[in-house]
């Protein structure tokens, strides 16, 4: 429906009145009534004039969204506007559930492609498989649609139907599949088990509701399986966080009741709070190792920071992300919300691990000389700002250019999709090993696999600069280029073990879902090996907790 300009003006007048009312409310908290009211009036007048007189027809909602997003982007990466259409995605991040078909879907070759159906979700029950391309949704072509549009089409109320036209690799004809939408719940503890005779393991992928209860239940099960548990590994790698309350509950699994976990402090002092554990722990004595990496953020950093500050366990991995901010959501009408950073959080030593600078939405590394030292309960020195540093730092070389490209360009995914056509059955994870390396290399050659290294990027910059300066000739450059080409050929074989590990994870996920991906990955995990080795050396474990070495 097209809205007339006169009606738009009337709506804007209402908006001015509403904004002015808001400004009147705000005066009680910060005393900036005049500045707020003046700028709201300027903004509204500008919006009205542009919408009325701009040479081309405008979408008022899109124009306003651009303005809102730009305003919030100037604050921090976590203060966001959540429209009515984004509520299901927000619910999934917070609660671990949403209404839809239950599948990880991404755009590959301009078509929405099923990356993984979630176990027992509608997509799984209907027989959707990883690699399936969705050609149509309810008769509408999907080619060229972005991921946001596709997810909007697929989500809906439980009990409603959605018809999909599927192109499945290996099938000559397209498949017509009708699914019944339902509430989809994704497990936050997809796997737990023993990684050695007496060392347990729990993977926590997100801090959605019941995370603390699920980690606690997993630990109970491990203690039943092995009463003489030598230690437990809590895996928070690539866990982006979630509910602060669940960070407290997960910490409470390992630390005693009424222990301070985290404090939040912000502009509105009445909202400042101390969060303490409320329950009897599952086990406050069992040795603990927490695994973190650069993508462990927010609630993951609270738990790892607490374990470190209270000297309750040892951290292994890489420097964490560095998000020490707390967000609260406010309803703003029309089923929309705004998620606002309202406070910073502080772990028991008093430190805040928030990175103080951002570049393109990512935290900028903070050097140690700019970080304030704090003390753990045993007197060990820890630093604020820029993330949580593990007690044992390991570099698994996961950032190699070739591994990044194989994942980001979906070479691993597409190869396994082809591999599955010839190898449809995998009886069990424990005995499975991928042994068709030559076939994978041939696949890459057929796909004309190539990737840019950091060296090549620097060489291109050097070429451009040398053309301007006239210092280096093309002949001089050719020697460097040849060396890089040769090094790239060797790079594939140098990373053979890591690549096979990625292939095995993808194959396992096709048969045993996320649980299988995690389980098979544990076999070749250097950080798991380091943790088991540490549990087998209790003197070293205790020494680290006493003096950090």
Does residue 298 have an active-site annotation?
A: yes
165 within 8 A of 135, measured Cβ to Cβ: yes
248 and 340 assigned to the same domain: yes
The answer to whether residue 485 is domain-embedded is no
The answer to whether residue 164 is domain-embedded is yes
343 and 445 assigned to the same domain: no
Question: Which range is most confident: 261-265, 425-429, 449-453?
Answer: 261-265
Does residue 400 have an active-site annotation?
A: no
Instruction: Select from 349, 374, 393 the last residue of a domain.
Output: 393
Count up the domains in the chain and report the number: 4
216 and 342 assigned to the same domain: yes
The answer to whether residue 444 is domain-embedded is yes
From the list 185, 192, 251, 298, the catalytic residue is 298
pLDDT for 167 equals 97
pTM > 0.75: yes
From the list 124, 132, 182, 309, the catalytic residue is 309
Condensed to tens digits (0 to 9), the pLDDT of residues 53-101 reads 888 888 888 888 888 888 888 887 778 887 766 665 655 555 556 788 9
The answer to whether residue 235 is domain-embedded is yes
Share of the chain above pLDDT 70, in %: 83
Q: Poorest-confidence range of 266-270, 393-397, 543-547?
A: 393-397
437 within 8 A of 493, measured Cβ to Cβ: no
Q: How far is CA 540 from CA 3, 38, 170, 402, 547, in A?
A: 71, 63, 54, 36, 10
Token pair 């991906």 in the structure block, residue: 517
Does residue 309 have an active-site annotation?
A: yes
181 and 306 assigned to the same domain: no
pLDDT beyond 70 at 401: yes
Radius of gyration for the chain, computed over Cα atoms and rounded to the nearest angstrom:
27
Condensed to tens digits (0 to 9), the pLDDT of residues 103-139 reads 999 999 999 999 999 999 999 999 999 999 999 999 9
pLDDT beyond 60 at 429: yes
pLDDT for 463 equals 60
Instruction: Select from 169, 185, 201 the last residue of a domain.
Output: 185
Token pair in block for residue 202: 């729990």
Of 130 and 328, more confident: 130
Condensed to tens digits (0 to 9), the pLDDT of residues 206-257 reads 999 999 999 999 999 999 999 999 999 999 999 999 899 999 999 999 999 9
From the list 48, 145, 155, 323, the catalytic residue is 323
Q: Which domain holds residue 61?
A: 5-74
- What is the Cα–Cα distance from 255 to 94, expressed in whole angstroms? 24
334 contacts: CB under 8 Å, gap ≥ 6: 84
273 and 248 assigned to the same domain: yes
177 and 206 assigned to the same domain: no
Q: What is the mean pLDDT of residues 516-526?
A: 93
292 and 384 assigned to the same domain: yes
Q: Poorest-confidence range of 11-20, 319-328, 417-426, 524-533?
A: 11-20
pLDDT beyond 70 at 203: yes
């Amino acid at each position: 429906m097209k809205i007339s300009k006169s009606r738009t003006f009337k709506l804007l007048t209402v908006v001015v009145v509403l904004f002015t009312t808001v400004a009147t409310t705000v005066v009680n908290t910060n005393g900036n009534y005049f500045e707020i009211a003046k700028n709201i009036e300027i903004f509204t007048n500008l919006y009205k004039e542009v919408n009325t007189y701009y040479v081309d027809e405008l979408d008022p909602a899109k124009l306003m969204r651009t303005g809102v997003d730009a305003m919030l982007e100037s604050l921090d990466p976590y203060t966001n506007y959540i429209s009515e259409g984004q509520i299901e995605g927000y619910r999934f991040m917070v609660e671990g559930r949403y209404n839809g078909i239950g599948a990880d879907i991404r755009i590959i070759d301009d078509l929405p492609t099923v990356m993984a159906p979630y176990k027992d979700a509608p997509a799984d029950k209907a027989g959707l498989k990883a690699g399936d391309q969705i050609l149509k949704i309810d008769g509408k072509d999907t080619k060229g649609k972005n991921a946001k549009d596709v997810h909007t089409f697929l989500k809906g109320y439980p009990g409603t139907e959605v018809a999909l036209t599927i192109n499945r690799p290996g099938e000559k004809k397209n498949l017509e599949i009708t699914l019944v939408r339902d509430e989809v719940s994704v497990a936050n503890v997809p796997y737990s088990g023993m990684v050695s005779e007496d060392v347990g393991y729990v993977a926590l992928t997100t801090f959605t509701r019941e995370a603390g209860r699920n980690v606690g239940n997993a630990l109970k099960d491990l203690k039943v399986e092995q009463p003489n548990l030598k230690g437990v590994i809590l895996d928070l790698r690539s866990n982006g966080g979630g509910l602060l309350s669940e960070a407290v509950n997960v910490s409470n699994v390992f630390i005693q009741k009424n222990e301070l976990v985290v404090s939040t402090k912000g502009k509105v002092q009445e909202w400042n709070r101390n969060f303490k554990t409320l329950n009897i722990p599952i086990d406050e004595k069992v040795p603990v190792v927490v695994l973190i990496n650069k993508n462990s953020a927010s609630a993951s950093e609270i738990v790892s920071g607490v374990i470190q500050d209270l000297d309750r366990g040892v951290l292994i991995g890489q420097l964490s992300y560095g998000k020490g901010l707390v967000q609260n959501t406010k309803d703003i009408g029309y089923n929309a919300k705004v998620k606002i950073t309202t406070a910073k959080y502080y772990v028991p030593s008093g430190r805040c691990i928030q990175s103080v600078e951002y570049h393109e939405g990512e935290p900028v590394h903070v050097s140690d000389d700019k970080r304030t030292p704090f003390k753990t309960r045993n007197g060990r020195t820890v630093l604020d700002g820029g993330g949580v540093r593990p007690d044992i730092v390991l570099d698994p070389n996961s950032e190699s250019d070739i591994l990044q490209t194989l994942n980001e360009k979906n070479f691993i995914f597409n190869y396994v999709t082809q591999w599955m056509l010839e190898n449809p059955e995998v009886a069990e994870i424990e005995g499975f090993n991928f042994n068709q390396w030559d076939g994978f290399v041939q696949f890459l050659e057929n796909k004309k696999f190539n990737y840019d290294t950091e060296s090549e990027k620097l060489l291109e910059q050097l070429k451009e600069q040398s053309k301007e300066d006239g210092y280096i000739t093309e002949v001089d450059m050719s020697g460097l280029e040849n060396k890089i080409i040769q090094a790239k050929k060797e790079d594939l074989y140098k990373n053979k073990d890591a690549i096979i590990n990625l292939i095995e994870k993808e194959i396992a996920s096709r048969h045993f879902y996320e649980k299988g991906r995690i389980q098979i990955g544990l076999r070749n995990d250097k950080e798991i090996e380091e943790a088991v080795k540490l549990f087998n050396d209790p003197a070293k474990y205790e020494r680290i907790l006493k003096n950090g070495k």
